[in-house]
Structure 1
Amino acid sequence: MRAGRGSLAGPLAIVEELSNTQVISALNEAAEAEGLFVGQPLRDAHAICATLLTRKRNIPAETAFLMALGRWAGKFSPWVAPQVPDEINLDMTGCSHLFDGEAALLTQIDADCADMGITVRMGLADTLGAAWALARYAGQAAGLPVDRSGDAIDQEARATRARAARISVRPAAPGQGAPSGKAGRRHWTRGGAAPQAVELSQQPERIAPVGQAHRVLAPLPVAALRLEASAVAQLGRLGLRQIGDLLDQPRASLARRFGRGLVLRLDQAMGSTPEPVSPAGVPDSFAVRLTLPEPIGLVEDLQAGIDRMLPRLCALLEERGKGARLLRLEAHRVDQAAQIVTVGLARPSRDPDRIRPLLAMKLEQIDAGFGIEMLRLEAMQAEPIHARTQAGHLEATAAARTRQAGGQTVALEDLIGRIGARVGLEAITRRHPVETHIPEKTAKVLAAAWSEPAQDWPAAPHARPLLLWRPELVMAPDVPQVPERFRWRGRDWELATAEGPERIAPEWWLEDPNWRSGVRDYWVVVTTCGARLWVFFAHGAALSRGWFCQGSFA
């Protein structure tokens, strides 16, 4: 993609950091003319073009601009779906006649974008897949994949050459633009006369005439089907480099060799599988910002800015009856870069006193650089907080007792939030009961931030050990009677008392490799040295029988 046209006439590139390497994520026409490309390491780009100017990528600003551009595109169609990072999809069904036809419509969009300093590439077709292909690959000849291996054949197959001879390839189109606009019209006509064939040379190359998607897409490279790079490379090595080459192949063979994803993309491009434009509804936005008169860089200044923004954000949440579950703090610096930190809460909340300490713990991660000129605080995830209902005397008394005991619950939730800000909320877990008679499956582990404390643990029919581990082999006679002496963990043990047995059978409806030993008879064994062990005798099924130790009561 190319950066928008602006006051800088020289080579300009937007740089982002990937795997500790700075690479180009966008560039303008002047940089493209120097031979630079998206994904190129910055050090290689400077070696080619010494006059290259660079700017750091600002992902939040790009996303916000794309959403704003999507709202502007609503003047052409009510069905608009922006797709991060650089696409806007429009369903133009019944709209083109309002702008004197499809060609005039695209001309007006192109002119409006040029006035805003945006380089844009568009495609219009019956399907979203075909429009995507035209917007990005119209006029590009199909060649060998860039990442081809050494054993690739640098020539087309005989059938491919015969096919290519009958298709005229359009002249190369300009470079790829950003954002890429794709407009599509529904074409579900059934019955009646077939659409009249239109000479493609009479139409702009970015517009596919009605019913002519097959002819327009046939000369385009297979990458225009939105395939993975590995699939494109494999198809190229087999001589299948154009979409038309795939259309002539048996579908069953394509699906068997390259997966159903390839066939699905073909169907979507040709209209056999519907892919409608589904614009998402306008989500609730809970965000506040603070523009600073002078750049700041001290932690105390950041904390003061949060103290001014947080009450306003909590007021917005309260108006909609929601609480923040995940918050993001953006610090926009004077060099157009943005520092972002996120915090999560164990429970949704709109209390500034509970949110402020979590944000304060993250401020040290912000690099102020040459100064921060704007702060933005946004609730990325918000959940409803139900209002309290009126209660009588009995309910009020019970609620008061609950609040007395619930102070610990609130403190525990705040503690989970503070620890989660350091190690992550997923790392804090709690155990919950499970309805099963298998000893090692009586509890499951859940994230503490997304689960309630366990209540009413079911009582075990017999005593269960405090420590439980995987069964360990016990050297003892292979009989179901408790041995007087046995060897376990390299030591000799002598029996004092034994209590049991408790027979537990495996879950026959589940295949558990740990229970292939069959039915078990559990005993509580006390040795002469005072150790209280939990041992069992496996009667044998798929595995051999014998004695095992699985836990200890102390």
Structure 2
Amino acid sequence: MRLWIALYLPRLPLEVFCPNWSADQCSVVIEQEGVLAVSRLAQQMGVRPGMRRSGALMLAPEAQMHERAPQQEQEALHAVALAMLQYTPQVAQGEGAALLLDVGASLRLFGGIRRLCRLVRDNLQKLGFTGVLGVAPTARGAWLLARNGGGRTLKLDSLQRELQCLPVGLLTPLQRHQRWLDGIGCLSIGDLLRLPRPGLQRRCGSEVLEMLDAAQGLVPELHEWLAAPHSFKAKLELFGRIENADLLLAGAIRLLQQMTGWLCAHQFAVVRIRLLLEHERGREACPPTPVEVVLAEATWRDEHIIRLLKERLGKLELVAPVIGLVLEAPEVEPMAPLSDSLFPEPGGSPQDRQRLFEVLVARLGAENVLQAYPKADHRPEVANRWVPLHEKVRPADVTAQLPPRALPRPAFMLPKPIQLLMRDHRPFYGSCLRMVSTAERIEAGWWSETQSRDYFIAEGEDNAYYWVYRERTPGTEETRWYLQGLFA
């Protein structure tokens, strides 16, 4: 099924200066001394497109006047196109501030055209732009629907009926002939199609007929697809000096949307990202503040990364106001295929557990979320150590041949053994301890520090069980007892 989504950005000249997720400011975009676009606040004050600059200043003297920036508009359109690569690899630029997405092969993956359009709108909202969507079996037809305010037509015959009612001024080559068309009563594309083709070609050129034929699906359409760069690095200039790290999340989300599209285009999954917070330049310049996120499990979706960045930015104290953001993906790997298991694992998949651990690390700090690192050694205090969660544990170390256990081990091991007092020739810990097991002798560490101990399971008067040992020191008659662990 051939289906296209045309994405038209009518407020792009304004939203490159004030995205829709920023605070509403009284902003006016000027082109050749005339008002091109206005914000809602400026519109409430009476400023309208088409006014002169002087008239806009009279109505809104505190308004921020911006000269139109075609270069910034093109960069913003490219950023949107890069983000749209997560829905289809075939993205092309249309006329004006428009993008064309060939989504015929993506419908089943994203659950149909309605859900796909909803995802595209949500993505565009996160990027900070306002868009109008047109859906049609041809790219030119979808573009015309989007320029006319949006619409969805899935079949070619329905599209041809829809085109009959569209105003003729939507066709760019006919805008210079608008007065002549109004004079002959040609107001819609249907009226235009009823005119003789040879005469229309002589009067308006062959480009008009080519656009009409392409919109109706009578001729094939050729497009130049967007090619994603080999490496990812996106930058965002903030229109203001941000002093609160929480406010930077919206800008970071915009950059993450671009990264998601880039990852999907290359079939990559990201392992590590770096967000640089750029500060003032010039005499008071200071180096950018880096915010790194290292993932235990590579991912190509942005939801989990957004949660981690939110935790990191929430705890960050800025050394200076931020004027720009730079997002990099220095470490990526090929995207792993989806799991082919028939039934889901109880308690969630390993990927779900890894995401939970990463959120805990971002919230509590890497030094407070540790994993066990067992080691093949008879000495209890050496047999296991705790390392940060991001440190890779080699499978050979985990599956090493552990020493045989003659007696059970306690559930809780003390960080450091506690020397016990002696009462009535028995070790004392809250009460006198009674040995309820035979001795387990552990002798090891001849290569560093020799240890010779006799371990026992002891019971107190409160019926609690303890793991204690008697230190064997040759050449001395003193007996010293230590508490090593507690049984659950």
TM-score category of the 2 structures, normalised to the smaller one = 0.3 to 0.5
TM-score (normalizing by structure 2): 0.42
